Amino acid sequence: MYLKEGTICPQCECGVLKETTRELVFNYKGETCEFKSEKVFACDHCECDYAASNWDDMCRIGEELRGFCEEVDKG
């Protein structure tokens, strides 16, 4: 799905997605991975966060998360 600013939120179908900067926090097996100041789309109604606002960021975050999960799996 291609998201852009102004897209109706797929979660609540009520709010509108807006590009914003958030701190993203992921948990995996009790370990935490943080991304400071990532651009994401967030709903102004239900306040859910959506994926990074562009493909490059999404790939980079995905890569880093994968590395993080591997590290956690290693122990």
Cα angle 3-9-52, degrees, rounded to a multiple of 5? 40
Collapse the DSSP code of 45 into the 3-class scheme (helix H, G, I; strand E, B; otherwise coil) and give the result: coil
Least distance (Å) from Zn ion to the CB of residue 36? 24
Cβ proximity to Zn ion: between 7 and 11 the closer is 11
Site membership for Zn ion, residue 11 (CB under 5 A): yes
Distance CA 48, CA 17 (A): 9
Least distance (Å) from Zn ion to the CB of residue 18? 11
Site membership for Zn ion, residue 46 (CB under 5 A): yes
Site membership for Zn ion, residue 12 (CB under 5 A): yes
